């Protein structure tokens, strides 16, 4: 059974249309870092760039004063790059230890979580906490799980949301120099950025967050087996 409270989030990729969205659940014992790895999995990110998670909210006080607060969480690197920047260690904080909670006794408004990936391309996934609940009949091994969604996700190193829109337009046209260049770069001649496979995504959620944790937290280069999972080689063999 899931002994921890269950957090249900709605996620949406910032700056891209048609929207790419997910609704998913994790245990309250999930660290902020693991939440980041789960979102990376949900949006086809491959752990080849820096990652950060920000929680921003507005505190309202009895005298109608308010204050906007942002907590930034990162995964420390081998060189200690983040030690002097005032960021929190995302591997040390669980969801239940943060203010990412709709049941807080503090008056919190405009609460939002943003997963930031590849600071050059500038990918942002906005999360909204929909509810926190308990379900004694749900086995903990079933979490994390995605309930529904739409759209494929990102394409690494394509230039952010604007580049993704260019990719989508080229593959819809299926002609022209830009299409040919994208085909050569990606090694495919078909790309449907509107597709979403629920079963495959839930399969990946049981595998990839652990691989990403090993990369970011243990600084281990992924094994060939892990790379094959990330690249979906299992589909090509079926």
pLDDT digits (tens, 9 = 90+) for 34-60: 999 999 999 999 999 999 999 988 876
Residue 66 is predicted with a pLDDT of 76
Strand partners, 72: 54
Percent helix, strand and coil across the chain, each to the nearest 5: 30, 25, 40
Q: What angle do CA 19, 16, 118 make, to 5 degrees?
A: 120
Q: What is the pLDDT of residue 103?
A: 45
pLDDT tens digits, one per residue of 13-40: 999 999 999 999 999 999 999 999 999 9
Cβ neighbours of 37 (radius 10 Å): 28
Token pair, residue 107, equals 């008056």
88-114 tens-digit pLDDT: 999 999 988 876 654 444 455 667 899
Domain residue extents for the chain: 6-153+194-233
**How does the average pLDDT of the chain come out, rounded?**
89
**In terms of CATH architecture, what is 6-153+194-233?**
Roll (3.10)
């Amino acid at each position: 059974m899931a002994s921890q409270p269950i957090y249900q989030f709605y996620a949406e990729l910032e700056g891209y249309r048609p929207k790419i969205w997910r609704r998913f659940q994790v245990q309250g014992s999930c660290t902020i870092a693991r939440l980041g790895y789960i979102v990376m999995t949900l949006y086809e990110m491959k752990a080849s760039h820096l990652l950060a998670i920000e929680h921003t909210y507005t505190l309202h006080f009895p005298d109608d004063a308010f204050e906007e607060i942002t907590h930034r969480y990162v995964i420390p690197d081998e060189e200690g790059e983040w030690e002097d920047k005032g960021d929190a260690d995302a591997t040390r904080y669980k969801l239940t230890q943060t203010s990412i909670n709709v049941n807080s006794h503090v008056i919190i408004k405009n609460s939002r979580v943003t997963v930031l990936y590849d600071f050059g391309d500038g990918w942002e996934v906005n999360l909204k906490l929909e509810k926190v609940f308990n379900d004694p009949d749900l086995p903990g091994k079933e979490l994390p799980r995605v309930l529904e969604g739409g759209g494929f996700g990102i394409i690494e190193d394509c230039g952010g949301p604007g580049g993704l829109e260019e990719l989508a337009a080229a593959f819809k046209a299926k002609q022209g120099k830009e299409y040919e260049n994208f085909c050569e770069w990606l090694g495919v001649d078909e790309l449907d950025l509107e597709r979403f496979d629920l079963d495959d995504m839930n399969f990946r959620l049981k595998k990839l967050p652990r691989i990403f944790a090993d990369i970011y937290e243990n600084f281990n280069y992924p094994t060939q087996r892990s790379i094959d999972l990330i690249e979906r080689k299992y589909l090509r063999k079926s």
